[in-house]
């Protein structure tokens, strides 16, 4: 299967946005790439029931060039400044700035493709559940989402029910149910997807 | 007259003892540097080989902290040592309830896996699990699949240590770090570094020690440990072995006394309560013999996920969780409030404890006999 052909695939790299990645110290490689720090940090927590990944920023590396590293090939890359990774504190969400990218020769003892797919899948739903967005092309769309996030936060404690708003946010109880599924699930990804789509 | 058998190493550097320390021609700063190797415990007492540190090590015999004689022909496996520990405790210490301190980490996971493997449902009903939410986050699959259905759970955020010692045998996962490679379990990712010969190629090891307590300390400590290692028949070959040995030989005593910091009482009955009712799971001759006779490929491998390898294999054989087996790495335990962290300075051979605030004069009288310089 070509990973770029799956429904929820994204390159993880967008012009003029920073490039974050989650680094796996066991495989000594990046398992996923994405342009949103908040989603990267939530993703780290969400997949922590499987493995502890470290949030890195790639685009400040001395040899980084746009497009050299995407979700199509990120498992082939590592960093040279391993000392910056807090191995003894794998739950830290501090962002490690990669000083130099290097091809990795590691051959991880696990299904790298399957775990990349899982990270992409979780990322896809985190964008939806966190009401996050990266594209800034359509100003109307951006403003609508910004208002939606404002409403999501404020009405979580104001609880105004007398008037509504056409928010893009997922209802909290549905969001929690989906996050629980993603956190604990170990089975077939496409079966899970059917279940989540029904919830949404 | 009583004598000191244990000194809290960090408190030895209290300013009130400056004059006493300066009476010796000894670089106490180097000795203090040992406390920086691992923030959780000291490493001031030598169990085997030449005592190359300045404190008298009577506690090894007084408190039953001996290291078994090295037997290169001993072939006990980790699983055998674990199953034996479970069944032996079941036969001898089951007259009241057990409370297992479960963090979700590898060491306490082995304990719970062994209970589930070896005990009947009726036996499991006599056992409670103490944990908090962070424990569940460390291994949620195991919690939901094996702990919640089989045990009563006690919130470890609100434990009263002294009360619990009256009600339970409390069992924790120490001193597992001492059986393995200590801080080598969570550092030196470069991998192959752990296999370097520490005698012929010590530079990277010295750098690692220097990063913790400075270059002068690193060089002094390296020579101090080397003199000790050269006096024992136990093979200590590579960097991982070196780290293992300093934990196994020098930190064993301190780690077994560490829970005392959570006791509010410091009289002799408090210490007896602790020794009678607190069980450090890995404190057995079988585990120690295993630890001395196993190395690369059994105890550890190069990849950072293969530290504490035998423990992970034991867990995997029970729960078949490939993610825990392939990805779990060493994490620090959640820090707990330590009301008595700096409370007592030393333990005497009558099991009472002295504090610098209340017993300074007695300490000044007794301490010189505890120093071997």
Residues with Cβ < 8 Å from B319, sequence gap 6 or more? B113, B141, B142, B145, B146
**CA pair distance B268, B271, nearest whole angstrom:** 5
User: Is residue B20 a part of any domain in this protein?
Assistant: no
Asked whether the CA dihedral B93, B95, B96, B98 is positive or negative, the reply is: positive
Contacts of B255 (CB under 8 A, 6+ apart): B41, B174, B175, B177, B178, B280
Mean pLDDT in residue range B196-223: 94
The answer, yes or no, to whether residue B51 has pLDDT greater than 60, is yes
Q: Is A90 within 8 Å of B329 when comparing Cβ atoms?
A: yes
pLDDT at B49: 97
Q: Is residue B367 part of a domain?
A: no
DSSP-assigned letter for residue A30:
E
pLDDT for residue B335: 56
In tens, the pLDDT along B305-341 reads 888 999 999 999 999 999 999 999 877 665 555 555 5
Confidence at residue B184, expressed as pLDDT on a 0 to 100 scale: 76
Q: Distance (Å, rounded) from C-alpha B172 to C-alpha B330?
A: 16
Phi, psi of A16 (to 5 degrees): 70, 10
Residues of A in contact with B142 (CB under 8 A): none
pLDDT at A152: 86
What is the C-alpha separation between A177 and A199, in angstroms, rounded?
Answer: 8
Q: Is position B216 within any domain?
A: yes
φ/ψ (deg, to 5) at B165 = -65, -25
Measured between CA atoms, how close is A22 to chain B, in angstroms? 14
Contacts of B182 in chain A (CB under 8 A): none
CB contact under 8 A, B137 and A88: no
Confidence of residue A102 (pLDDT cuts 50, 70, 90): very high
For residue B246, being part of any structural domain is answered with: yes
Subunit contact B323:A184, Cβ cutoff 8 A: no
Residue B56 within a domain: yes
Chain A residues whose CB is inside 8 A of the B305 CB are 26
Beta pairing class for B278-280 and A20-24: unpaired
Does some domain include residue B117? yes
How confident is the prediction for chain B on average, in pLDDT?
92
pLDDT digits (tens, 9 = 90+) for B250-282: 999 999 999 888 888 888 899 999 999 999 999
Query: What is the count of structural domains for chain B?
Result: 1
Residues of A with Cβ-Cβ distance to B330 under 8 angstroms: 88
pLDDT digits (tens, 9 = 90+) for A20-70: 999 999 999 999 999 999 999 999 999 999 999 999 999 999 999 999 999
Residue B273 lies in a domain: yes
Enter the DSSP assignment of B115: H
- The answer to whether the CB atoms of A109 and B327 lie below 8 A apart is no
Q: Which stretches of chain A sit within 8 Å of chain B by CB?
A: 24-26, 48-52, 82, 85, 87-91, 109-110, 183-184, 186
Q: Under an 8 A CB cutoff, do A26 and B330 touch?
A: no
B167: nearest Cα among B276, B284, B282: B276
User: Count of residues for chain B?
Assistant: 373
Does residue B1 have a pLDDT over 80? no
In this predicted structure, the answer to whether residue A110 has a pLDDT above a threshold of 70 is yes
Q: How far is CA A47 from the centre of its chain?
A: 10
Closest CA to B291 of B240, B329, B328: B240
Is B172 among the domain residues? yes
Q: Which tokens hold the place of B195?
A: 């296999």
Task: Provide the pLDDT for residue B157.
Answer: 83
């Amino acid at each position: 299967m070509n990973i770029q052909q799956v429904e929820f695939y994204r390159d993880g790299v967008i012009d003029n946005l920073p490039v974050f990645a989650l680094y796996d110290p066991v495989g000594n490689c990046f398992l996923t790439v994405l342009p949103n720090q908040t989603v990267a940090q939530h993703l780290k927590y969400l997949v922590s029931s499987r493995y502890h990944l470290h949030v890195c920023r790639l685009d400040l590396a001395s040899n980084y060039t746009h497009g050299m590293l995407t979700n199509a090939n990120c498992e082939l890359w590592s960093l040279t400044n391993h000392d910056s990774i807090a191995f003894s504190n794998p739950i830290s969400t501090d962002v490690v700035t990669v000083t130099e990218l290097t091809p990795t020769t590691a051959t991880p003892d696990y299904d790298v493709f399957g775990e990349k797919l899982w990270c992409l899948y979780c990322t896809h739903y985190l964008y939806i559940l966190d009401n996050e967005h990266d594209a800034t092309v359509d100003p109307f769309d951006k403003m609508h989402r910004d208002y939606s996030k404002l409403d999501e936060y404020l009405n979580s404690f104001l609880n105004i029910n007398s008037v509504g708003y056409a928010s893009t946010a997922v209802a909290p109880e549905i969001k929690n149910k989906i996050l629980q599924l993603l956190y604990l699930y170990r089975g077939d990804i496409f079966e899970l997807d059917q279940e989540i789509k029904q919830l949404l | 007259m009583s004598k000191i058998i244990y000194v809290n190493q960090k408190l030895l550097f209290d300013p009130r003892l400056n004059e006493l320390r300066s009476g010796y021609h000894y670089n106490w700063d180097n000795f203090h540097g040992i406390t920086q190797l691992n923030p959780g415990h000291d490493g001031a007492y030598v169990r085997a080989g030449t005592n190359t540190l300045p404190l008298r090590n009577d506690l090894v015999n007084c408190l039953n902290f001996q290291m078994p004689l090295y037997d290169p022909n001993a072939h006990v496996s980790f699983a055998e040592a674990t199953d034996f520990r479970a069944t032996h405790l079941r036969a001898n210490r089951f007259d009241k309830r057990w409370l297992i301190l479960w963090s979700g980490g590898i060491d306490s996971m082995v304990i719970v896996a062994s209970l589930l493997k070896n005990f009947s449902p009726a036996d499991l009903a006599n056992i409670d699990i103490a944990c908090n939410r962070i424990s569940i986050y460390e291994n949620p699959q195991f919690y939901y699949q094996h702990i919640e259905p089989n045990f009563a759970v006690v919130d470890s955020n609100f434990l009263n240590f002294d009360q619990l010692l009256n009600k339970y045998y409390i069992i924790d996962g120490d001193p597992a770090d001492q059986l393995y490679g200590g801080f080598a379990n969570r550092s030196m990712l470069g991998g192959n570094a752990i296999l370097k010969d520490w005698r012929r190629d010590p530079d990277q090891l010295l750098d690692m020690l220097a990063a913790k307590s400075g270059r002068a300390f690193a060089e002094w400590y390296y020579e101090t440990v080397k003199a000790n290692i050269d006096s024992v028949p136990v093979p200590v070959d590579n960097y991982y072995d070196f780290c293992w040995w300093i934990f196994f030989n020098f930190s064993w005593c301190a780690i077994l006394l560490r829970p005392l910091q959570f006791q509010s009482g410091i009289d002799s009955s408090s210490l007896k309560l602790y020794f009678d009712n607190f069980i450090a799971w890995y404190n057995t001759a079988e585990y120690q013999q295993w630890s001395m006779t196993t190395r690369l490929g059994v105890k550890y491998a190069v990849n950072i996920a293969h530290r504490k390898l035998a423990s992970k294999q034991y867990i995997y054989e029970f729960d078949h969780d490939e993610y825990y087996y392939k990805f779990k790495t060493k994490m620090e335990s959640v820090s707990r409030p330590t009301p008595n962290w700096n409370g007592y300075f030393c333990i005497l051979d009558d099991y009472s404890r002295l504090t610098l605030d209340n017993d300074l004069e007695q300490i000044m009288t007794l301490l010189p006999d505890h120093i071997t310089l």
